[in-house]
Amino acid sequence: MKPLKRKWAQVSLALHYLGWGLFVVVGLIFSDLLERDFNISSFGVGMLGVGLMLLGPVLWRLTARCPHCGKRGGPLSWVYKKSYCSRCGHVLSFDDGPVHEEETPLNQRPRYRLKRGWARLVLALLIAGLACMAIGGLVFTLLMPQPQNEEEFWNAVETSWAVRDAAAYSFLAGTGLLIAAGVLTRRLKCPVCCQGFAVPWQRRGETRWCGRCGAALFFEDDLEYEKT
C-alpha cells in the first residue's frame, strides 16, 4: 500500500491558515489602511483569502487517497497522528508513521447515534452562506460601474458605494452563516474524542467512521431505515 505524503498535508494546512489570515487580519481589520494608503481593495484581499482557505482542502483531496478504498482526503495534521478513513474505517498510513499500524476490527468498535435534525440545519446554513457569498461576488463584479473619465466617476460615486455596500453586507452575511454552521458542527462530533464528526449530507443507512478514534457514527433515522 502506498502511504500518504505528510508534505501535502502540511502545504494544505499552510494555505488554509494563510487564507484565514488574509481574510481576517488584512481584509477586515486593516481594510481602511489598505484602501487609504495603498489603494488596494480590501474586498479583493478578502476574496483572495477565501480562495486560499478553500484551496487548502481541495489540494489535500487531490493529493491524498485512502490506500484501502480509494476515498480522497482525510484528517489533516502537521505531524503524525493515528487517523482513520471515514468511508472504510481502516487506518490511514503516512510516510512519516509506522509501516504497520494496529487497528481494532470494524465489528468490535463502538457505535454512536447522532440527531439528523442538526445535520439538516448545518447543511441549510452551509448552502445559505455559500449562496450569500456568491451573490456578493456577482453583485460586485457585474454591477460595479466602470467610469472612463472624471465626470463619469463623480456621476457614479453614489452607485459605486451602494453596490459596494450591498456586496459587503451579502459577503458578511454569508460569512456569519458559515461561522454558525461551523459552530453547530459540534453537534455532529464524535462523542468519544470530539475531533471527528459525521458530515451533514450523510445518507440514510450509511455509516461514517470517526477520523481520529475510528468509532462508527450514524444518525437516529438509520434505525428506521434498518427496519424497513
Helix/strand/coil for 189: strand
pTM score, two decimals?
Answer: 0.67
What are the pLDDT digits (tens) for 149-205?
Answer: 777 767 777 888 888 888 889 988 998 999 999 899 888 888 888 888 888 888 887
User: How many other CB atoms are there within 10 angstroms of residue 54's CB atom?
Assistant: 13
Phi, psi of 160 (to 5 degrees): -60, -45
Q: Closest Cα partner for 125 from 200, 57, 20?
A: 200
Tell the residue number behind the cell numbers 453586507, with chain if given: 169
What are the pLDDT digits (tens) for 25-53?
Answer: 776 677 777 777 777 777 777 778 888 98
- Cell numbers placing 202: 450523510
Of the pLDDT bands very low, low, confident and very high (cuts 50, 70, 90), residue 228 is very low
pLDDT at 116 > cutoff 80:
yes
C-alpha–C-alpha distance, residues 48 and 183, integer Å: 23
